[in-house]
Amino acid sequence: MYLGIDVGAASTNIVILDENKKLLRKRYLMTEGDPIESVKKGLLDIAKGIEDLVEVQGVGVTGSGRYFVAISSVPMW
């Protein structure tokens, strides 16, 4: 599975895709001036109920907050 994270100034979007690029889950939340907390909250939310089923093969991070997330130690779940 693949994880996509878009961290913008206003909103954060997180998606999980399967190996065939099928969208399995998506989450949209407000960044609220704290991109790291926004990503943490989104990851915990998107993983609820599927923690044991997800083995992430790759991650892509885009948006204005991508550098904040890249240098922080954001736990997956």
Global confidence as pTM? 0.79
Domains of the chain, by residue range, sit at 2-71
Spatial neighbors of 34 by CB under 8 A, at least 6 apart, are none
**The predicted structure's pLDDT at residue 71:** 59
At 29-61, the pLDDT tens digits run: 999 988 889 998 998 898 887 767 667 788 888
How far apart, in whole angstroms, are the C-alpha atoms of residue 52 and residue 71?
26
Q: Please state, for a pLDDT cut of 90, what percent of the chain lies above it.
A: 35
Exposed e or buried b per residue across 7-22, where buried means at least 16 C-beta atoms within 10 angstroms of its C-beta: bbeeebbbbbbeeeee
Taking phi over 0 as left and psi of -120 to 50 as alpha, with beta for the rest, 26 belongs to beta
| Third-level CATH fold of 2-71 | Nucleotidyltransferase; domain 5 (3.30.420)
